């Protein structure tokens, strides 16, 4: 589909060595651990067997550094398991699914062609080493989903859809670099791989009206943190396709708002936010922030039919 649209994919080989990935049954192996077998001195590459929760299967990954290609048949999988682990070939009783790949990092040159949008692995591929693929893909879909809804159902300007690529492509590019560095052992999993610090401060959809904020202050474009909200939690209040206007530690007057579009909550002083008004987007990022509601109505013209 991407090729048919004429959208290029630019990237590099992360590792020339192929990797076998297979869902296997090994009843003799305990399911309490992720079993890791480091590369042997005489070659062969790493092998890992991870229990897949909620199933009787394990996921096996095995790197081939000796110039051979992975054999995805039952016999091929049995052979590599017997050669690199304490298990015997017969203890692999079944291969449910198997494939092979060469880790590569590549990014689509653009995420949109007319009415077609690229999201997830169609837009970016990378080494699985950092465990970033699913989160990044789901965030793509969440970012795009509410914008499509706003334009198609809410009558928002079509330009809102252009912010999808503007916000997600730079994040994907950074994630590719991170995954490659982790694959090559130049960086370890940590705060960056948890993706909680990602945001869109530079986006045209992030409007910060306060000035003189401390460096560490939460501001428009940041991920809105969780916290108490009445008898529940903010994350519960955010959940859904609506915007959430949070009035934190302020009695600031609010304009009349479409109740279906915006849910309003007033909460007491809460340090992670600081005091003010925070408009949280359906995907959980602060879109607009202010000391009072000045400018809030203008912001809605970007994301709704306005008036």
Report how far residue 123's alpha carbon sits from residue 110's, in angstroms, rounded to the nearest whole number: 8
Q: Which is nearer to ligand FAD, 108 or 303 (CB)?
A: 108
Residues of span 59-78 touching ligand FAD by CB under 6 A = 61
For the four alpha carbons of 161, 203, 150 and 119, in that order, the dihedral sign comes to positive
Residue 196 CB partners (closer than 8 Å, separation 6+): 223
CA 47, CA 135: separation in Å to the nearest integer? 25
How many angstroms separate the Cα of 69 from the Cα of each of 14, 91, 302? Answer: 17, 23, 52
Q: How far is the CB of 151 from ligand FAD (least distance, A)?
A: 22
Can you tell me the distance from the alpha carbon of 190 to that of 134, in angstroms, rounded to the nearest whole number?
Answer: 17
The CB-of-124 to ligand FAD minimum distance in angstroms stands at: 8
What string of DSSP letters covers 168-220?
Answer: HHHHHHHHHHHHHHHHTTSS-SSHHHHTTT---TTSTT-EE---S--TTS--T
Distance CA 58, CA 291 (A): 53
Nearest-approach distance from CB 99 to ligand FAD, in angstroms: 8
Cβ-based neighbours of 92, under 8 Å, separated by 6 or more: 24, 25, 26, 74, 77, 78, 81
How far apart are alpha carbons 213 and 252 in whole angstroms?
Answer: 19
**Toward ligand FAD, which CB reaches closer, 4 or 256?**
4
Q: Which is nearer to ligand FAD, 146 or 299 (CB)?
A: 146
For ligand FAD, which is the closer residue by CB, 133 or 241?
A: 133
Task: Please give the size of the binding site for ligand FAD, defined by CB under 6 A.
Answer: 12
Residues in region 81-100 near ligand FAD by CB under 6 A = none
Instruction: State the minimum distance, in angstroms, from the CB of residue 224 to ligand FAD.
Output: 22
- The nearest distance, CB 19 to ligand FAD, in angstroms, is 7
Give the gyration radius of the chain's Cα atoms: 24
Site string for ligand FAD, 227-266 (x = CB under 6 A): ----------------------------------------
Residue list 8-47, contact with ligand FAD (CB under 6 A): 21
CB of 204 to ligand FAD, least distance (A): 26
- What sign does the CA torsion over 146, 152, 155, 157 have? positive
Site string for ligand FAD, 115-154 (x = CB under 6 A): -----xxx-----x--xxxxx-x-----------------
Q: Nearer Cβ to ligand FAD, position 176 or 220? A: 176
* Minimum separation from the CB atom of position 131 to ligand FAD (A): 4
Please, what is the minimum distance in Å from the beta carbon of residue 274 to ligand FAD? Answer: 32
Nearer to ligand FAD, 134 or 159 (CB): 134
Q: Which is nearer to ligand FAD, 36 or 134 (CB)?
A: 134
Question: Residue 124 or 304: which CB sits closer to ligand FAD?
Answer: 124
Nearer to ligand FAD, 194 or 301 (CB): 194
Find the shortest distance in angstroms from Cβ 21 to ligand FAD: 4
Q: Element (H or E) spanning 75, and its range?
A: helix 74-84
Residue 245 φ then ψ, to 5°: -100, 115
Q: Can you give the binding site for ligand FAD, defined by CB under 6 A?
A: 21, 61, 120-122, 128, 131-135, 137
């Amino acid at each position: 589909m991407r090729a048919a649209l004429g959208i290029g994919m630019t990237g590099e080989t992360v590792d020339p060595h192929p990797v076998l990935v297979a869902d296997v049954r090994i009843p003799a192996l305990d399911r309490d651990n992720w079993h890791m077998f480091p590369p042997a001195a005489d070659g062969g590459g790493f092998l890992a067997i991870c229990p897949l929760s909620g199933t009787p299967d394990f996921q096996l990954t095995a790197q081939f550094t000796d110039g051979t290609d992975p054999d995805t048949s039952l016999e091929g999988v049995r052979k590599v398991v017997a050669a690199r682990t304490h298990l015997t070939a017969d203890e692999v009783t079944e291969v449910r699914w198997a494939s092979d790949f060469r880790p590569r990092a590549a990014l689509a040159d653009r995420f949109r062609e007319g009415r077609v949008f690229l999201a997830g692995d169609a837009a970016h591929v990378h080494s699985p080493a950092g465990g970033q693929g699913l989160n990044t893909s789901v965030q793509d879909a969440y970012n795009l989903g509410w914008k499509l809804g706003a334009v198609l159902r809410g009558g928002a300007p079509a330009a809102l859809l252009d912010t999808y690529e503007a916000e997600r492509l730079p994040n994907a590019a950074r994630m590719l670099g991170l995954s490659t560095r982790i694959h090559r052992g130049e960086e370890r999993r940590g705060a960056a791989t948890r993706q909680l610090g990602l945001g869109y401060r530079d986006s045209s959809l992030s409007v910060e009206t306060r000035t003189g904020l401390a460096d560490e202050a939460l501001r428009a474009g940041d991920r809105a943190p969780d916290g108490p909200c009445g008898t529940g939690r903010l994350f519960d209040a955010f959940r859904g396709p609506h915007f959430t206007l949070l009035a934190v530690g302020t009695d600031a007057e609010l304009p009349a708002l479409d109740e279906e579009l915006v849910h309003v909550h007033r909460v007491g002083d809460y340090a992670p936010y600081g005091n003010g008004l925070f408009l949280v987007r359906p995907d959980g990022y602060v879109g607009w922030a202010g000391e009072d509601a000045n400018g809030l109505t203008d912001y809605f013209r970007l994301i709704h039919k306005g008036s």
